[in-house]
């Protein structure tokens, strides 16, 4: 099993779908062992209701999540240099994270995770796409960090 980092920042484009899912699952699976946050390149959206629904299916609570951007994190005093690992879940977030490595020494990983937001016509079809995204994140997380320490 890989050693858990002390702190992880998950990031995507809007901090509304993929990175909140990853933050919630990391907290659920690995408990208090790792400090976990998430951010977006932009903060122009609220948490996505489909994300809340599909994470609720696996007992991961996202309803209280408040979206935030990298800039807001810094404004609120969450120092990016304090994270051991930044996991980018979209190409835009990867670019932003790599840009930040010019100022901070950060380990950046890119996990290519599908954005489900524009896929599916019906509610059931959309939920199915969001489940695929959730399951992609979970698979990468288990591959990277090992079996959950929390049940």
pLDDT digits (tens, 9 = 90+) for 8-19: 999 999 989 999
- pLDDT for position 46: 82
> Region 122-135: what's the mean pLDDT?
94
Residue identified by tokens 């062992």 is 33
- pLDDT for position 113: 95
| Residues whose CB is less than 8 angstroms from the CB of residue 90 and which lie 6 or more positions away in sequence, other chains included | 11, 12, 13, 18, 41, 113, 115
* The overall pTM is greater than 0.85: yes
User: What percentage of the chain reaches a pLDDT higher than 70?
Assistant: 97
Q: What is the pLDDT of residues 30-44, one digit of tens each?
A: 988 889 999 999 877
Residue 151's pLDDT band, with cuts at 50, 70 and 90, is: low
Q: What is the pLDDT of residues 60-108, one digit of tens each?
A: 999 888 888 888 887 877 777 788 899 999 999 999 888 877 777 778 9
- pLDDT for position 82: 81
CA atoms in the 13 A half-sphere facing the CB of 67: 20
Domains and CATH numbers, the chain: 7-145 (3.40.50.2300)
Helices and strands, number each (H, E), in the chain: 5, 4
Beta bridge partners of 85: 8, 107
- pLDDT for position 52: 95
> Region 15-24: what's the mean pLDDT?
94
């Amino acid at each position: 099993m890989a050693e858990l980092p002390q702190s992880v920042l998950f990031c995507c484009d809007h901090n509304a779908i993929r990175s909140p899912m990853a933050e919630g699952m990391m907290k659920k699976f690995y408990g208090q062992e790792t400090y976990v946050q998430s951010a977006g390149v932009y903060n122009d959206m609220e948490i996505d209701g489909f994300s809340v629904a599909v994470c609720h299916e696996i007992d991961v609570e996202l309803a209280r999540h408040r979206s935030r951007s990298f800039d807001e994190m810094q404004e609120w005093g969450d120092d990016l240099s304090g994270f051991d690992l930044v996991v980018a879940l979209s190409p835009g977030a990867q670019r932003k994270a790599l840009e930040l490595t010019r100022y901070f020494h950060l380990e950046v990983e890119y996990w290519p995770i599908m954005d489900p937001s524009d896929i599916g016509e019906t509610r059931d079809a959309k939920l199915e796409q969001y489940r695929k995204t959730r399951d992609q994140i979970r698979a990468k997380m288990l591959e990277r960090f090992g079996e959950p320490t929390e049940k």
